[in-house]
Copies of this chain bind each other. A is one copy, B any other.
């Protein structure tokens, strides 16, 4: 069994981007990070993105509206950023407060600056196999982990567990694309699937993104499968100072001995998302400066 090391792969990508950005003449790529309110998890995520951007040489512009901001005021901020030629990418940190329509906000971000890949147009471009768009960071990170660990999906059966808009559906569409490394046969299953183990056991590549701790057990996995664990779940653990431990959607102790390759949690898909956000930002810069 080989562990797919997300920390190392993410660090490789960051190093590649750093070299690429260092060689750019003139202005550097710039990402605007919009964080509404002071949710501790959001504070930590935005800090991590800012730090990685700085490491690469991407400028970041931090915008911190108060939790009381109205949707229209937030739209005004986004419109200004959309119009600003020195801003290449815009990230609005989720979750947003309940009085703001998240999907409407993601649509308000110009498709050309939507480095998070949540705009409807960019989702449509994934289906259209149009590379001018931006792929959401988690599915993009999964595909990158597969490619860099030498897993070609051609002729393989890829089973995606979970049909969310930010992971399950886009990763299924990516695995299906007529592109080198992709061309998989894809099954998407979910909480309502009958006889789930019989389906997941067919997977040459199993992508677990169902959001249930240690849901995938040994009886659901074919020996030799590649397993990508997208889950990040907190389960109570009295032995930890925090009172919890992080676990994936896969029961790692029983499943990992069966696999040819598997991602750990933490340290698998998680670290890839920030790296892919930065990759999208550099792409947005290139598209903007080329046009």
Binding site for B on A (CB under 8 A): 103, 119-125, 127-130, 154-157, 163, 165, 169-170, 172-173, 176, 178, 183, 185-190, 192-194, 199
B165 and A169 within 8 A (CB): no
Chain B residues closer than 8 Å to A121, beta-carbon distance: 120-121, 124
A128 and B103 within 8 A (CB): yes
A154 and B192 within 8 A (CB): yes
Given contacts A123-B128, A165-B128, contact A176 B155 (CB under 8 A): no
Copies in the complex: 2
Given contacts A120-B124, A120-B125, A125-B120, contact A192 B183 (CB under 8 A): yes
Question: Which residue of the partner chain, among B169, B186, B190, contacts A127 with CB atoms under 8 Å?
Answer: B169
In the bound complex, what is the Cα–Cα distance between A128 and B155 (angstroms)?
Answer: 28
Chain B residues closer than 8 Å to A170, beta-carbon distance: 127
In the bound complex, what is the Cα–Cα distance between A106 and B165 (angstroms)?
Answer: 24
A169 and B163 within 8 A (CB): no
Question: Which residue of the partner chain, among B124, B165, B188, B193, contacts A123 with CB atoms under 8 Å?
Answer: B124
